[in-house]
């Protein structure tokens, strides 16, 4: 009986049926989370598209009425014919916040290589867990990073190299 119990025990100290149950639960929970995230992402994308379409329709309607009068005190970059980006709207978007948790485990580095590896790991994580929205999310994230992060040009250049080789610089063995 003891030999049979030892044969059922896995490396984690769990019996084989308990391990199978854990694997099954993780698979079902993971699939449920992916499905919920996918539904939320699609709803969010549809909401953003609807607002963009409404804004474009309003701009088109305004242009068809002969355009708007140019105000003397209007700031540069907002004149007729010039485009606006999504952050330049008059009304705030009621979108849920995006939270990113960094598990750097107390290691802080300002080297472009380390930042590029972090971005690469983030890309891989988003692509593997939120594949339905990963492309537009990551392109927006990297565009924002390029505009706002200090030393972004060097980091993004290193990111291209990290994508080619993977996150480990030295591979021994």
pLDDT tens digit sequence for 153-169: 999 999 999 999 887 76
Q: What count of other Cβ atoms lies within 10 Å of the Cβ of residue 17?
A: 9
Q: Token pair for residue 155?
A: 């980091």
Q: Is the pTM of this model over 0.85?
A: no
Angle between helices 134-148 and 112-129 (to 10 degrees): 160
pLDDT in tens, 117-141: 889 988 998 899 888 888 888 998 8
CA distance 24 to 62: 57
Per the CB < 8 A criterion, the answer to whether 122 and 130 are in contact is: no
Q: Which residue has the higher pLDDT, 88 or 140?
A: 140
Q: In the chain, what are the domain boundaries?
A: 1-93, 97-166
Q: What is the pLDDT of residue 45?
A: 82
């Amino acid at each position: 009986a003891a030999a049979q119990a030892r044969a059922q025990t896995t490396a984690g100290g769990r019996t084989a049926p308990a391990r199978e149950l854990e694997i099954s639960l993780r698979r079902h929970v993971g699939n449920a989370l992916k499905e919920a995230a996918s539904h939320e992402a699609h709803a969010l994308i549809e909401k953003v598209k609807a607002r963009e379409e409404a804004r474009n329709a309003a701009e088109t309607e305004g242009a068809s009425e002969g355009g708007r009068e140019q105000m003397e005190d209007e700031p540069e970059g907002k004149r007729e014919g010039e485009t606006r980006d999504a952050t330049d709207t008059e009304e705030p978007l009621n979108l849920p916040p995006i939270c990113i948790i960094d598990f750097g485990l107390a290691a802080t580095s300002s080297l472009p290589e380390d930042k590029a590896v972090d971005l690469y790991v983030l890309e891989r994580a988003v692509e593997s867990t939120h594949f339905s929205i990963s492309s537009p999310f990551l392109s927006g994230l990297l565009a924002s990073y390029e505009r706002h992060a200090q030393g972004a040009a060097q980091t993004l250049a290193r990111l291209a190299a990290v994508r080619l080789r993977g996150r480990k610089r030295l591979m021994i063995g």
